[in-house]
Amino acid sequence: MAKRQMAMVMDLNKCIGCQTCTVACKTQWTNRNGRDYMYWNNVETYPGVGYPRNWQELGGGFDAMGNIKPGKIPDMRRDYGIAWEYNYAETHQAKQLVPHEEPIWGPNWDEDVGSGEFPRTNYFYYIPRLCNHCDNPGCVAACPRDAVFKRDSDGVVLVDQDRCQGYRYCIAGCPYKKIYFNPKTGKSEKCIFCFPRQERGVPTSCAQQCVGRIRFVGFMDDEQSQVHQLVHKYKVALPLRPDYGTQPNVYYVPPLFSPAKHDANGKPIEGTTRIPREELHKLFGPEVDGALERLKSEMDKRKAGEPSALIDMLVAFKQSDMFRMDSNYYKEVYGRRIAAPLDERYVRGKFTTSPTLYR
């Protein structure tokens, strides 16, 4: 366990699947140097197979006794999809824009497909995914080189680029498949929770750019933080697939409403809902029942004109209401000016680093 833990809560009731977060992350961290196919943040349509393809079926994590479960490494072409390029240079010769090879899979491939029978029972919702910076990370447990590590200062999980030898046990060990192999450098890489931003008191790129204002970021031990309150006080935010045993630090407010099912005449069937409860149990565990009840009763209160601090928090009237950052804390951690220090082990091997950032 880290001394403090940076955490995120995402309210799935507000996600519109716009992928702004995905693009914000990609342009900041993974648009070159062998990272082209990586999506440290991606947004998936549920129900769906996601990215990499069928990641929930690929194993990793821990069993109920705490033993590491075997996992598979996704196939680069079949499960992630090749990051295709286009013939931009030829378009001024009136040639059609075409990908350089036939795409067979990619992030967001099953966008808005969902499940059910249109128009009576069909439904879908979005789940954004990133590394959970777990308390019990499968990637760390699986690495024989001690190259994947969890920072004591804020619990961010990073890959030491000097120690990593590209064995990829970490990829098999992560049940969320949120650690990737860089074929150019021969090392593993992953979401860094935008630690250079967080150290300066700025939230992650995906959170700051989020159009739906679904993402709350802060330290879990800060009782004033939204993440602490949503997880521990109101108990409406839950980890994804808690059965994997990695104890994630990214939490989700589960989807509360879906339209009623329609009968053969197109009339709503009273008291029905399109999202099966078993599906939410599988994704968020049995705690989801209580979380949904609490959300519903607070929402009913608000609709009746009564105050609800929980609903006000989830609405997030101002963007600044969503983040509780603490750059002063990092100054204490490093004992010198915040502009200088970062995790040195990471910076040494990182290729998207601008040296001027760290002077």
| Residue numbers at the binding site for ligand SF4 (CB under 6 A) | 15-21, 43, 126, 128, 131-134, 137-139, 157, 174, 176, 178-179, 190, 210-212, 214, 246
Judged by CB, which is closer to ligand SF4: 8, or 261? 8
Judged by CB, which is closer to ligand SF4: 132, or 153? 132
Q: How far is the CB of 191 from ligand SF4 (least distance, A)?
A: 7
Strand partners, 190: 179
Judged by CB, which is closer to ligand SF4: 126, or 219? 126
Q: How far is the CB of 195 from ligand SF4 (least distance, A)?
A: 13
CB 258 within 8 A of CB 274: yes
Judged by CB, which is closer to ligand SF4: 42, or 229? 42
CB 192 within 8 A of CB 198: no
Q: How far is the CB of 141 from ligand SF4 (least distance, A)?
A: 8
Q: Reply yes or no: is the peptide bond before residue 119 cis, omega within 30 of 0.
A: yes
- DSSP type of residue 273: -
Give the residue closest to ligand SF4 by C-beta: 212
Sheet of 250-253, strand order:
238-239, 250-253, 6-11, 215-219, 323-324
Q: How far is the CB of 109 from ligand SF4 (least distance, A)?
A: 16
Q: How far is the CB of 105 from ligand SF4 (least distance, A)?
A: 20
Judged by CB, which is closer to ligand SF4: 188, or 225? 188
CB 140 within 8 A of CB 148: yes
Q: Which H or E run contains 209? A: helix 205-209
Q: Distance between CA atoms of 15 and 128, rounded to whole angstroms?
A: 8
Judged by CB, which is closer to ligand SF4: 149, or 261? 149
Q: How far is the CB of 272 from ligand SF4 (least distance, A)?
A: 26
Q: Distance between CA atoms of 193 and 10, rounded to whole angstroms?
A: 14
Q: What is the dihedral of CA 106, 111, 116, 119, to 10 degrees?
A: -150
Q: How far is the CB of 250 from ligand SF4 (least distance, A)?
A: 8
Judged by CB, which is closer to ligand SF4: 212, or 261? 212
Q: What is the dihedral of CA 104, 109, 114, 118, to 10 degrees?
A: -70
Token pair in block for residue 263? 């009968």
Q: Is 287 exposed, middle or buried (0-12, 13-18, 19+ CB in 10 A)?
A: middle
The H helix count followed by the E strand count for the chain is 11, 11
CB 61 within 8 A of CB 136: no
Q: How far is the CB of 150 from ligand SF4 (least distance, A)?
A: 8
Q: How far is the CB of 239 from ligand SF4 (least distance, A)?
A: 10
Judged by CB, which is closer to ligand SF4: 194, or 261? 194
3-state secondary structure of 251: strand
Token pair in block for residue 218? 């802060």
Judged by CB, which is closer to ligand SF4: 79, or 261? 79
* Radius of gyration of the chain, Cα coordinates, nearest whole angstrom: 21
